[in-house]
Structure 1
């Protein structure tokens, strides 16, 4: 299970940061870990949230190996790793240690209503009838949605 989870984590972070395109040299899947920030973000990803308010002038688009986005992810991720990411979201792209800490935080933390990627890969998550009806079954595929 440990090796499988490490492989799944690396696969997911590679997928999240891929720069591949259909005609890329060596194919579109040879380009993992290409982008540390979302390209051409369409918005600032700031939503009203009294617990995790947006800092003036800051944008919460995808950054890092898991490409966390939205203030409601930057806030709790920063709290968990001891860094104010609401005021300093760029640290997720510019500080390698913080970058991977946020990726590991996201991997390990339930994002309601979704289970944590860790729980899916280790078999702790059990799908409900609604999950099954929606095609959400145990395995790697659930971590990419």
Structure 2
């Protein structure tokens, strides 16, 4: 081995030792997405923490960085009061417990990454003028002024408090504007159930294509005699729509043509379409199911993936969906006891 190559390897090892504070050791069956999901970080975060990582060539025993001390950013700007992160904390909980909005919390801690909060980390909870002092809160449309069932703050709080990264503004706009016309959702509680399911299905509004199908389109899967030539109908959209007959029916109902049937990838590439299709699926398959209108969250899980999660081998996943729902209810200021019934009970 030449001196230059040896020096590069040594530098890389020293760099990783300095920039990484926690590792995952690859075991049989691991893929990048499952590793990221296990540690509640995004796939992009995982790739940024491991420059040059080839997710197609993971090997057993490989060390993957999943936490870096460099991701812990000190609070910026003028701060009069700090909070020390404790086990179980997340950004929305810290903000709520200290009497500030999540938007104020972000403004007080410019650049903070809520996926990388570490026990012992200091975060700012009050500006120079007292609680939230000196912070300009981003205004959000209210229910009374716009007719939206939830405000932008409520939407952001719901996503972030569930352990996911902050959503984009266009995601909020599409979410609130399509709930009624495409999903027939008129109650805040049902919209909370919908969002909880969508967060789980899409990995926190991140993945609009079925992860396992990104490389080869899942050739040989989801195939029927009625498929349009050259099209593959694997999961797309926030609810992971599959099979050509669903793409065709959604296209006809939403647009009065076959655009999604003849060009299925639009569902993954256009955020408005991704939301429209997901609300359409909810309207057709979930909205009218017994128990949904009375708040039985398990009934929505049963409608979406009941064969596997309500009586099959993955009931733990149904419970994880319910845990997200409980957080969304609080973020939406719906202070009622969440009902788990309708799936496996």
CA offsets 1:89-134 (integer angstroms, 9 cap, x no match)? 011011111111111110000xxxxxx21113215xxxxxxxxxxx
Which residue pairs with 1:28 in the alignment? none
Which residue pairs with 2:224 in the alignment? 47
Matches of 2:229 and 2:278 in 1, distance apart? 24
Which residue pairs with 1:26 in the alignment? none
TM-score, normalised by the number of residues in structure 2: 0.30
Matches of 1:140 and 1:69 in 2, distance apart? 18
RMSD: 2.0
Which residue pairs with 1:27 in the alignment? none
Matches of 1:2 and 1:104 in 2, distance apart? 14
Which residue pairs with 1:2 in the alignment? 187
CA offsets 1:25-82 (integer angstroms, 9 cap, x no match)? xxxxxxx11211001223442212xxxx211111101001111001011010011111
The answer on whether the counterparts of 2:197 and 2:301 sit within 8 Å (CA) in structure 1 is: no
Matches of 1:70 and 1:117 in 2, distance apart? 18
Matches of 2:301 and 2:228 in 1, distance apart? 34
Which residue pairs with 2:301 in the alignment? 141
Which residue pairs with 2:275 in the alignment? 100
1:62 lines up with 2:229 in the alignment: no
Matches of 1:139 and 1:107 in 2, distance apart? 12
Find the residue that maps to 1:86 and give its secondary structure: helix
The answer on whether the counterparts of 2:190 and 2:293 sit within 8 Å (CA) in structure 1 is: yes
Which residue pairs with 2:196 in the alignment? 11
Is the alpha carbon distance of 1:143 and 1:4 closer, same or farther for their aligned partners in structure 2, counting shifts above 3 Å?
A: farther
**Structure with more contact order per residue of length (Cα contacts < 8 Å, sep ≥ 6):** 1
- Number of equivalent positions: 109
Runs of 4+ in 1 over 4 A off after TM superposition: none
1:33 lines up with 2:210 in the alignment: no
| Bigger Cα Rg | 2
Offset of residue 144 of structure 1? 3.5
Matches of 1:55 and 1:35 in 2, distance apart? 24
Which residue pairs with 1:79 in the alignment? 252
Unmatched runs of 5 consecutive residues or more in structure 2: 1-185, 306-345
TM-score, normalised by the number of residues in structure 1: 0.67
The answer on whether the counterparts of 2:222 and 2:234 sit within 8 Å (CA) in structure 1 is: yes
Find the residue that maps to 1:118 and give its secondary structure: coil
Offset of residue 88 of structure 1? 0.8
Offset of residue 12 of structure 1? 0.9
Map residues 116-131 of structure 1 onto 2, 5 A cutoff.
116-120=285-289, 121-123=292-294
